Amino acid sequence: MTAILVIIGLSILIIGHEFGHFFAAKLSKMFVREFGIGFPPRLFKKKIGETEYSINALPFGGFVQIAGEGDTPDNSEEKSNDVPKEKLFTSRPMYQKMLVIASGVIMNFIIGWILISIVLIVGITPMAVVGEVAKNSPAEIAGIKNDDIFSDFKNAEELKAFAKLHLGEKTTFNVIRGNEKIKVEIALPNEENKDGGILGVMLGQTGDIPAVPFYKAPYEGLKETATVTKETFIGVIGFFKSIFAHATIPDGAVGPVGIFSIASQTSKAGFIYFVYLLAIISVNLAIMNILPFPALDGGRFLFLTIEAIIRKPIPRKIEAIVNGAGLLFLLGLMIFLTIKDVGRLF
């Protein structure tokens, strides 16, 4: 059930991105061949007007096909179709083409804003997270591990106060470990140790987001989204700086498998935590796609900007080669991160 929830959540972000492109293309009177949820093989399709809508077997994500938007060196595919020239992507005014390319990023920002606003209405209660377990401590003997979450306590002070009340007793604690919710029985000592500790753990805490009134949530959500965007942008720039300037990938970087694993673990902490994580991922998708890098929306937007400046289209062959090289780099990076993710799991 957790895996299904994660797939649905992440797919919503990708489908939302593609819907942004789709909506802007329709608004600009472009010919949209297909809007698909998931990836082929097709399970169901229905044509409404000029557009075919499909539901596909591979559930992760979605796609939109706009006539004339491909990276083929020529438009031979378009010439063979009964698509009015004025409805091709390449035939529309520059501002409309830019709007279509930018709308996926805009939609991801909007989704992030909506999700963060929902989180602010509900609020997030912090929980105590284990950072380190002392050797031969009651916690280690009971099997407590790094990154375990004591889900019934907001911070170290609450947990310590509870433990003090139960000195000398065997006490059961609710713990979140990875994708599991478990109960751990810890034999508490008769007194605190010389450093004032009881369990023998160093604790941190998850995020603390106080709830706000419903009518304030959109405004506060917009401010929080701006903060998350700023922090994410700094992180993404640091990531690529590390790759291109130092030829290293930061240890904390994760790929698709890592994102899936984190999302699965977060959903166990509570649905609202998962919603907040989706909001962060949505903003990350927006920031990644806005970068002026080949094969990303930002790279395609850059090509359009150059065309607007030089007042003539860039040869499609050149654009296809550059985007192909960018795509190969991104696929290689994704494969490398996936290998690292799998290594962490084992």
% of the chain surpassing 70 pLDDT: 86
| 100-137: pLDDT as tens digits | 999 999 999 999 999 999 999 988 877 788 878 888 88
In eight-state DSSP terms, residue 67 is T
* Structural domains present in the chain: 2-123+215-345 (no CATH), 128-205 (2.30.42.10)
In eight-state DSSP terms, residue 317 is H
Task: Quote the strand ranges of the chain, DSSP E.
Answer: 32-48, 51-66, 128-133, 149-150, 170-177, 180-187, 201-205
Q: What's the rounded Cα separation, in Å, for the pair 218 and 22? A: 25
Give pLDDT, residue 252.
63
Residue 232 clears pLDDT 80, i.e. is over it: yes
Angle (CA) 183 143 190, round 5°? 85
Give pLDDT, residue 342.
67
Residue 288 clears pLDDT 60, i.e. is over it: yes
How many CB atoms are located within 10 Å of the residue 324 CB?
A: 13
Q: What's the rounded Cα separation, in Å, for the pair 225 and 58? A: 31
Residues 13-17: what's their mean pLDDT? 93
Residue 345 clears pLDDT 60, i.e. is over it: no
